[in-house]
Amino acid sequence: MTTDHIVAADREQAVTEEVLASFDATPDPRLREVMHSLVRHLHAFARDVRLSEREWETAIEFLTRAGHITDEHRQEFILLSDVLGLSMLTVAINEPSAPGATESTVFGPFFVDTAPEVPLGGDIARGASGIRCYVSGQVRSVTGEPIDGARIEVWEADQDGFYDVQYPDGRSAGRGWLRSGENGEYRFWSVLPAPYPIPHDGPVGDLLAATARGPMRPAHLHFMVTASGFRTLITHIFVAGDPYLGCDAVFGVKQDLVVEAIHHLDGPAPDGSHPETGWASIAFDLILATHDGR
């Protein structure tokens, strides 16, 4: 290294040290730890890529566009976290260690907390387009006890790959919640999920395009399951055979969450009904861990 390089490296390190010290008096120890680590890694990143001023401006413009496109229906920063794998890394860091518990995956931006309750065996599609799909299974603990009364929230895109909230007409479809029955059993009608692109008409879409990455997610059904004494489970069922299982734009696929959808040409369905056209069925048990990971 030349003397010039040594002087430049010292100058850079001095900036980092000064910024680190500025957070030394943070009263909350966790916030102090997080800010120190953030500064160390952010500065190391800038040094690593030898960040130019033009590139830094481009990044600021990118974040500004992300802010401008974000509103109550669109959250570009979560999308950015998703495509960078930060959402799934956070899921992995916080995953319960209980062997046998259903694995978690990304929450996504399309959950709505005002979805209607449907009875056990009811219809959460409520007009969403697609092949009728009967979903059933059992909610239980990792030690095998059935969990009755668990609240099961379900949401999904229709066969065109759109969630109800993405339509401008204010519809509510493809979502609902139900409670597991006495033996932990659950069942409902939905539509067979379809693959769809994450919103890619904003800066995150531009980033995907610039890096030759696709915006598609494999077909999936979202679940959030809550039961007293258990950790909330946020997960999906993915449909086996989907062409995008190996290249989910948000890295949410886990092998244990990939399930076969069985296609039936005619009825009767398990609930005795006779769907007019072909229908599908999916069986999937939801296994919850307790708060201490058991």
If one counts every other C-beta atom within 10 angstroms of the C-beta of residue 284, the result is 17
Which two tokens mark 41? 């890694």
Site mask, ligand BEZ, residues 75-94, x = CB under 6 A? ----x--x------------
Backbone angles phi, psi at 203, to 5 degrees: -60, -35
Q: What Å distances lie between residue 61 and 14, 74, 101, CA to CA?
A: 27, 18, 42
Of 202, 236, 238, 162, the residue nearest 66 (C-alpha): 202
> What separation in angstroms does the CA of 270 have from each of 273, 276, 286?
7, 14, 19
Stretch that binds Fe ion, among 83-91, 105-113, 167-175, 206-214 (CB under 5 A): 105-113
Nearest to ligand BEZ of 98, 128 (CB atom): 128
How far apart are the C-alpha atoms of 70 and 256, rounded to whole Å? 33
Tokens (6 digits) for 114: 């005002």
Q: How far is the CB of 77 from ligand BEZ (least distance, A)?
A: 11
217 binds ligand BEZ (CB under 6 A): yes
* Residue number closest to Fe ion, CB atom: 108
Q: Which stretch binds Fe ion (CB under 5 A): 32-40, 83-91, 108-116, 270-278?
A: 108-116
Which of 66, 102, 108, 221 touches Fe ion by CB under 5 A?
Answer: 108
- Site membership for ligand BEZ, residue 106 (CB under 6 A): yes
Among 109, 122, 267, 275, binds ligand BEZ (CB under 6 A): 109
Q: Nearest residue by C-beta to ligand BEZ?
A: 108
Of 5-13, 65-73, 101-109, 170-178, which part binds ligand BEZ (CB under 6 A)? Answer: 101-109
The span of 19-27, 108-116, 120-128, 177-185 binding ligand BEZ (CB under 6 A) equals: 108-116
Q: Is 71 helix (H, G, I), strand (E, B) or coil?
A: coil
Binding-site member from 108, 137, 174, 205 for ligand BEZ (CB under 6 A): 108
The amino acid at residue 250 is V
Q: Provide the minimum distance between the beta carbon of 199 and ligand BEZ in the complex, in angstroms, as a whole number.
A: 7
Concatenated DSSP letters of 189-244 = EEE----EEPP-SSHHHHHHHHTT---EE--EEEEEEE-TTBPPEEEEEEETT-TT
- Which residues form the interface with ligand BEZ (CB under 6 A)? 79, 82, 106, 108-110, 198, 217, 250
